[in-house]
Every structure is written in structure tokens, then in C-alpha cells.
Chain A
Amino acid sequence: MSSELLSRGVEAGTSSHQNRPRKKAGMALRVGRWLPGLLILAAGMTMVVPFLWTVSTSLKPHETVLQLPPKLVPDPATLDNYRRLGDVLPFWRIFVNSVIVTLTSTAAQVFTSAMAGYGLARFKFKGRETLMLVYLATLMVPFQVTIVPLFLMMRWLGWVNSLQALIVPSVASAFGVFLFRQFFMQMPSEFEEAAACDGASPWQTFIHIALPYAKPAAATHGILAFMATWNAFLWPLFIARDEQSMTLPVGLSALNGRYSTDFALVMAGVVVTVVPVIAVFALLQRHISGGLLLGNGGR
């Protein structure tokens, strides 16, 4: 990046050198070229520094956290706060709960949505438009509306404080169905025709042709579902308050409720909650398609 910008800057410099009266314009041009970069750098720092500060706080011994002036590099550094997390709450159990709930829920969401999206995009049947409207309607109703009845349902099933109460209600994703449907609508029909000529059933066609074709949609939906489940707070707050069935955000909230002034401990909890999801995102972010989210089908 920098070498390219530099060479452009050199070009601008030489041209203004040859043409003295235009020197001012050349300067303005150069500032205009660098200013966005500087602004982006400043904005990027604003995003990163609070995270660095969080990590730094989590590595400080309890006594030095409130020291002023604050020191960015902890000295001495310690992992003691991470060890204490396991003492005050079954934090590692909570971590495992989050992993289980997130992986099963994401897999189920992507698979059922891909199936429904395929069915709604590639088959003509009576009532298809009505069905799409039903999906659209549920998308419009905020989740808070369903929360009280869902709670009653879970109570009736005896699922309060259980992991299935966190997984099962999120299996169907109207958003995912829309995403996949839109994607499958653009799939060339030659693919299916070729498969049908080879005697493949619609199910085999879906598994071997359509699903691999829909990788971008699956990646986009999968990553978003992963984050939504990992970070979910409102529903878990009601249905899984028990220490054994909590997931990380609720655990973090409980930690803060009991030790709100122990900033080093709380920040250690924050790091444990945030690092996995940032890592997953950093690894997979190339596959997220903003165009898909906007509904213009861009890849």
C-alpha cells in the first residue's frame, strides 16, 4: 500500500515541480490523498485501543489496577485473574456451554435454512408466496414479543436451565431462509438438469450440487449465526440463569454483578468471551458477502 501511495506522491511532486504556479494545488492534492488514510488510522486506533486496554487490565495484579496514571503495559504482569475466574464461577463449564450451544445451533440453522431456501427457490407450488409472507412476517416481529410465551413453553417442557432451551428455539432462521432462497434463485438451472439426467433425486441434487454451490451464502449465514448465538444475551438471561447452564454473556453479567469493582477480574472474563469470536471472524471474514446482506446478490 505505502509504496504505491508513495510513488503516486512522487509523481504529483515532480509534476508540480515542473509547473511552479501549480505547486499549491499539488500540496492540496497530496493532503487530500493522505487525509483519508490518516482518518482511517485514527478511527482504527479508536477501535483497537479499548481492546488493548482491556487485555492490559486483565493482566494486572488486583492491587495495581486502580493506579494512576494508568499504565498500558502491565508491570508486573500476571495470569492470576484468569485463574480466579474459575474460582468465583464455573467459568470453564460456562465456556464449554457456549461452545456446544453455538456449534449445534449454527449448524442446525444453516442446514434447515439451506433446505428451506432451496425448496422455496427451486420448486413451484401453490401457496409458495404465502409461505414467503409468513417468513417475512416473523422477521418483522421483534424477538421480545415471543419471549414470554417461549418461557412458558420451556417451563411446560421442563427445559428451564437446560442447554436445549438455548438451542431448540433458534433452529429455524427466517433471515437464513431469505438469504439462501435469494442465492438459489440465481443458480443456473443447467446444474440441476444435468444431475436429473444422471438420475439423481432432488435430495441428491441438493446435497451434491446445490449445497456446494451455495457456499458463499452458507458462509455468510454461518458466521452471522455463530456470532448471534455466541453473543446472545436476552433469551439466555431468562432461561439459563443457573451457573451450570449459563453461556458466556450471562456468566459475564453475573460476574459483573458480584465483582463489579474488581475490574481486572471482569476484564479477564471479557477477554475470554471476546477472543474466540474475534478469532473466528478474522479467519473467516473474507467469506462474508456484504452484497448478500444488502439483498443485491453480489458475491
Chain B
Amino acid sequence: MNRVGLRRGWWVLFVSPSLTFLALFAIVPIITAAVLSFYDWDLITDPKFVGLGNYRELTHDSEFHASIIHTLVFIGGYVPVVMIVGLGLALMLNKRRRLQGLSRVVFFMPVVSAWVAVALIWTWMLNPRFGAVNWILEKFGFDPPAWLFERGWAMVAIIGVSVWKDAGFVMLLFLAGLQAIPDSYSEAARVDGASKFKTFRYVTLPLLSPTVFLVSVLLLINSFQVFEQVWIMTQGGPVGSTTVIVQQIVRNAFTFGRLGYAAALSWVLFLMIFAVTLLQTRLQRRWVHYEL
């Protein structure tokens, strides 16, 4: 153990490159953003201190409120569906090792593709007049909506495309979680005469709950930051029915040149994410089992 004493001091060398860049390009900007949120600044005139003015303003900024609601609608649709699809795929692929290699590539094609590219593919696929989706739906006798051009359906399309893109990633995480569960548990249940469904419900699912928890935390944090698919597919339309929080930050900062206000909005976004993550960790004690 005295060797540890000899090597004391070396940690500085190892940690400092990462820490320097983290300080300069993450910590300093985070603090600056907090300070900036108390100012009014358009980059042209001098910054003006307004105290809590920006925060007071956002309490009656109806566009911002609408964007919060749309973001919550997105989360409410996307998170449960992508978790169910991802878990379903993982359950079907678990124990089918030979299918896993190919499936990992196939289901990861959307995951690894840029959001901009995926959004453009689906803008084309969902084109009401020339798109492949509506052509097929009409063939089968449906009367399909105009998707991205129709209130209500635009959000459905955004949620659907987001599930399509991320299902493979959720599947990978659940597969890793499933493979960490020893076979002996489900075998014991089978020996005791439990049906497949009961084994899943009372053995696999509780043992998988730490993974379910982690995945849900990750998905919630990410989905509060939804932006690119909306920016490309609808720009917040039609008639502002799909605007999201990040889009409001972007617009205020770079379209209206209201840097202080944008910083205040970004802090509100952070506080929302923080509050939800905290709530989830509090609630986890009620449903997450680390052993049977």
C-alpha cells in the first residue's frame, strides 16, 4: 500500500487535461448562463441588469408555455411506446444469439444515423401526395391524414418517427439487462410450474426493474431536449402545434437576439429535468427491486 503513497501527485497529470477542458467549455459556460439570465442583452447594446425580470417574463410567455405542453405531449407518447417496443424486441431476441448479430446492425441503422437525415427520410416518406406511406395506406383502402401538415397528426408522426429511430438503442440496453439475469431464476420458476407469462411478470420483470429505471431516466432526460426532428420535420408547425422548449431557446437567442432571456429559458429547462430526475429517484424505492 505504500506504493500508493509514492505515486501520490500523479493524479494531477492524469486528470488535468480533461478537467481543464471541462472547466473552460462546460463549467464556465454553465455559470455564465446563470449570470446572463439576470441580464438583458442583444449583443449590440451594453448588457443591462434586470434582476428576475427574465424569469418574471417567462411566467406569462404564452409561446413558451405552449412549447412546454407540446414537449410534455411528446414525452407522454414517446417514452412509454419506445420502452415497450424496445423491451418487446429485447425479449424476443434474448436467447436467440444467432439473430442478435444481424439484428443489432439492422435495428441500429436508424440509431446511428443523424437525426437530420432520419427526419428528411420521413419527411419524404410521409409526403401526403408522393410519399410511400400514404400510397400504401390508400392501397389498403385507408383515408390517410396529411401527417406533418395536419394539426394533431404532426405530433403523432414526430413521436412515431422518434420511436422508429430509438427503439434499437432501448433494445440494446434491455438486452444487456436481460443477459445480466442468471438463467437459474426462470428455470426455478419453470420447475415450480409457473407459466411463461407468470415467469415474466413475477421473476423477469422485477429483476429487470433496475434496467427499466435506468432506461426511463435516460429517455426522460433526453426527451425533454427534443429538437432536431421538430426543427426539420415541422419547424414547430402547423400553426405552432409542435413547438418545443429547445426551439424556443434557439429562437430567442438567435432569431430575436435575446441572449439573457434564452439563458433564463435554458435554466428553466434544466430545473424541469432536474426535478423529474429527482422525483424518479425518489419513487424508484417503491418499484425497483435489486433482488427477488
Contact = CB atoms under 8 A, between A and B. Distances in A.
A68 B225 contact: no
Interface of A: 1, 4, 36-37, 39-40, 43-44, 46-48, 50-51, 53-54, 57, 65-66, 68-70, 112-113, 115-116, 118-120, 123-125, 128, 131, 134-135, 138, 140-153, 168-174, 177, 193, 196, 202-203, 206, 227, 230-231, 233-234, 238, 248-250, 252-253, 256, 263, 266-267, 269-270, 273-274, 277-278, 281-282, 285-286, 288-291, 293-296, 298
Interface string B1-13: 0011001101111
B175 interface: yes
Given A150-B25, A285-B104, A252 B117 contact: yes
A89 B66 CA distance: 36
Contacts of A120: 11, 14-15
A144 B269 contact: yes
Contact of A249 (B107, B116, B121): B116
Nearest to B215: A294
Contacts of A263: 124, 127, 130
B168 interface: yes
B99 A138 contact: no
Interface stretch (B29-37, B69-77, B184-192, B199-207): B29-37
B146 interface: no
Nearest to A226: B112
13 contacts: A39-B92, A40-B99, A44-B103, A44-B107, A125-B11, A138-B22, A146-B30, A147-B253, A149-B28, A169-B25, A233-B116, A256-B232, A298-B180
B126 to A, nearest CB: 10
A145 B266 contact: yes
A177 B253 contact: no
Interface in B148-182: 164, 167-168, 172-173, 175-177, 179-180
Interface of B: 3-4, 7-8, 10-15, 17-22, 25-30, 32-33, 36, 88-89, 92-93, 96, 98-99, 101, 103-110, 112-117, 120-125, 127, 130, 132, 135, 164, 167-168, 172-173, 175-177, 179-180, 211, 214, 221, 224-225, 227-228, 231-232, 246, 249-250, 253-254, 259, 262-263, 266-267, 269-270, 273-274, 277
Interface of B, secondary structure class, is helix
A47 B107 contact: yes
B105 A282 contact: yes
Given A37-B99, A69-B135, A123-B10, A146 B112 contact: no
Nearest to B7: A202
B32 A252 contact: no
Contacts of A51: 109, 121
The 5 closest A-B pairs by CB, nearest first: A119-B14, A290-B176, A116-B18, A172-B21, A149-B29
